[in-house]
Structure 1
Amino acid sequence: MTRMLLAAIIAAGLASTSALAQTASYEIMAPASPGGGWDQTARAMQTVMQDAGVAGDVQVVNVPGAGGTIGLAQFVQGKAGDPSALIVGGYVMVGAILTNNSPVSLEDVTPIARLTGEAEAIVVPAASPYQTIDDLAAAMRENPGAVAIAGGSAGGADHIAAGLFAEAVGADPTQINYIAFSGGGEALAAILGNQVAAGISGYGEFESQIEAGTMRLLAVTTDERIEGVDAPTLQEAGYDVSLENWRMVAAAPGITDEQAAQITADIEAMVQSDEWQETLERNNWVDTFLAGDEFRAELQQNIEDTREILTTIGLVSQ
């Protein structure tokens, strides 16, 4: 082997090693059971970051319970200073922190970016006597406690949507019969098993059942209809409710500004990739990407707005 050939092999090896060293590795915590919106988001991030070359290795771990606050507490306590640790959260977690009077909050992590928005969907089993959103509204108006509604954790977006809908139809929002589940899969089973009258969650969690005809979509909570989906918004149906669930990603507490900037750059590269745009379209997620100081200000405003709503529906005291 000539010296020139040996030098070329060594140089190629060093270049390869350098490239691998520059490729990040991440562990993303989905603070909920498999099958729900946070799990879907974390696993979409895992796939896209690897396929788009943003990260060399991405792992997802699930830590369910209490609207994400159990996972959040573990993340804060166990991942401080770790720039490879990420956690998915969002509107549900904001409400759960307030409802559960959680000892940890989003102030204890490093917010990176808001990623997506999604319509909340109000569904019933296919055999339900409630054919329209007006049918469900009439039943809730007559006796809100008799209409069991399945959704995610107490105080989250699903619970807030149920309370706002009850208020909009003229029912007492503090009297609704909301049954909280820690993961989307559990809520789905309760709805399909006719254990509840209705369900509320992100449209993406119900989409396959709606398309298969095992669930009936009555309405969505956003201002605009979902493209290609034949269901009214609550506003169209005459109920003054406007709500979009959103999801975010945060990094560990105690990381440096430089590490936060690198993580933000990686997330920006992910959301700008063709693979991410295809993921958004496939899941009917809206691109609501927002990072930096603008996101932190928006997050603080969301926390205050959510506190006001939860007070109104009786989940948080004055």
Structure 2
Amino acid sequence: MSVVVKTSAIKTVRAVTFACLAFAVAFAAAPASAQDMELKIIAPAAPGGGWDQTARSIQQVLIAEKLARNAQVINIPGAGGTVGLAQFVTGAKGDGHQLMVNGFVMMGAILRNKSPVSLSQITPIARITEETQIMVVPANSPIKNAKDLAEAVKKDVAKVTFAGGSAGGVDHIMAALFVGAVGADASKVNYVAFSGGGESLAAILGGKVTAGISGVSEYEGQIKAGKLRAIGVTSPKRLPGVDVPTFKEQGIDLVLTNWRSVFAPPGLNDAQKKALGDVVAKMVKTNGWKEVLKAKGWDDAYLAGDDFAKFLTAEQARVTAVMKTVGLVK
């Protein structure tokens, strides 16, 4: 017995099949609703540092505020974050359920390590925090304020040593900016890099260096204990509850913050970008996030969209110029 299938029936079956496939593809690419969202948050550094703390704070708040069903932090340390950046570029393409924490320090690391990947290859979502930098000297130092340090730098820049974190990082850049701002040769800045905050603190307290540089919260305990003297902060105005003059009010044009941000992978569609952007925008408005900022000593620096893109361009130009000046980039 032969079976005759009408052409119209075949076309109908094909149409239904293609419609189902299209729906499945669209569903896979579509962002989940906030409460159903599962995220991977990449911290391109070892546990314990600023990027790791930021990633885990985001994880904590997203779950507590029911903005995501689950959030997992993955640490990928190495080369100032550029190892994690490279893996993010190649391994997370098109994945609308991943975010990576990065910031000011990564800009310098990309240049210094001649990274084959850059921030331009991933999707900017928002700047979320910033931390004001502070400069300190030992309590028994003859340097009482930023003007005293400026005079010492102008007299002999090579004899003034600055201690801070990794070479090319925000502390190093701040030292170079200070030297240049007071009229000395920034290319001759005498900077001693330490891998950990404890090592640099010991060098400062022991009088092995002239001054130390870090985030305000890093030295807060030693300042209150009277072991360190703060001589200036890099905010444009005095910080609430911090009795330290700004560099600007002491006549030195130095404003700088160690900002942190979140990026998404490359290759996202508009719906995926919007979903991730909306989640971050909602998170920074929660009481949970405000409590994190207060506890960590971070400032709310939320900036998204075109304004964030313009900010990134300006910061890239500034970091590149400073690193060329100090000889870290040719």
Q: TM-score, normalized by length of structure 1?
A: 0.82
Give the aligned CA root-mean-square deviation in angstroms.
2.7
Q: 1:221 maps to which residue?
A: 234
1:310 aligns to 2:323 (yes or no): yes
Gapped regions of structure 1 (runs ≥ 5): 1-18
Task: Pick from 287, 297, 307 the counterpart of residue 274 of structure 1.
Answer: 287
Partners in 2 of 1:183 and 1:53 — Cα distance? 35
Pairing 1:135-150 to 2, within 5 Å after superposition: 135-150=148-163
Residue 165 of structure 1, CA deviation: 0.4
Identity %: 52
One-letter amino acid of the structure 1 residue matched with residue 159 of structure 2: A
Gapped regions of structure 2 (runs ≥ 5): 1-31
1:210 aligns to 2:258 (yes or no): no
Residue 23 of structure 1, CA deviation: 2.6
Partners in 1 of 2:45 and 2:157 — Cα distance? 28
Task: Pick from 247, 269, 279 the counterpart of residue 260 of structure 2.
Answer: 247
Is this contact kept in 2: 1:191–1:197, CA < 8 A? yes
**Aligned length, in residue pairs:** 299
Q: 1:20 to 1:258 in 2, by over 3 A?
A: closer
1:162 aligns to 2:160 (yes or no): no
SS at match of 1:249: strand
SS at match of 2:260: strand
1:49 aligns to 2:62 (yes or no): yes
Is this contact kept in 2: 1:35–1:185, CA < 8 A? no
SS at match of 1:119: strand
Per-residue CA deviations over 1:117-166 (Å, capped at 9, x if unaligned) read 22111123445453332333333333333333222333332222110101
Partners in 1 of 2:133 and 2:93 — Cα distance? 33
Partners in 2 of 1:167 and 1:281 — Cα distance? 33
Pairing 1:280-291 to 2, within 5 Å after superposition: 280-291=293-304
1:75 aligns to 2:88 (yes or no): yes
Q: 1:123 to 1:47 in 2, by over 3 A?
A: farther
One-letter amino acid of the structure 2 residue matched with residue 65 of structure 1: G
SS at match of 1:46: helix
Greater Rg over alpha carbons, structure: 2
Residue 246 of structure 1, CA deviation: 1.6
Pairing 1:31-50 to 2, within 5 Å after superposition: 31-50=44-63
Q: 2:16 maps to which residue?
A: none
Per-residue CA deviations over 1:172-231 (Å, capped at 9, x if unaligned) read 211112233455565455545655432222223333443344433221112111111111
Q: Which moved more, 1:299-308 or 1:175-184?
A: 175-184
Residue 272 of structure 1, CA deviation: 0.9
Q: 1:143 to 1:186 in 2, by over 3 A?
A: same
One-letter amino acid of the structure 2 residue matched with residue 249 of structure 1: V
Q: Which moved more, 1:114-123 or 1:49-58?
A: 49-58
SS at match of 1:55: coil
Residue 299 of structure 1, CA deviation: 1.4
Is this contact kept in 1: 2:162–2:213, CA < 8 A? yes
Is this contact kept in 2: 1:34–1:185, CA < 8 A? no
Is this contact kept in 1: 2:35–2:69, CA < 8 A? no
Q: 1:111 maps to which residue?
A: 124
SS at match of 2:105: helix
Q: TM-score, normalized by length of structure 2?
A: 0.80
One-letter amino acid of the structure 2 residue matched with residue 119 of structure 1: T
SS at match of 1:201: strand
One-letter amino acid of the structure 1 residue matched with residue 175 of structure 2: A
1:300 aligns to 2:313 (yes or no): yes
Q: 1:276 to 1:189 in 2, by over 3 A?
A: farther
SS at match of 2:250: coil
Residue 259 of structure 1, CA deviation: 1.8
Q: 1:41 to 1:22 in 2, by over 3 A?
A: closer
Residue 249 of structure 1, CA deviation: 0.5
One-letter amino acid of the structure 1 residue matched with residue 183 of structure 2: G
Partners in 2 of 1:176 and 1:120 — Cα distance? 18
Task: Pick from 123, 135, 155 the counterpart of residue 122 of structure 1.
Answer: 135
Task: Pick from 178, 188, 197 the counterpart of residue 175 of structure 1.
Answer: 188
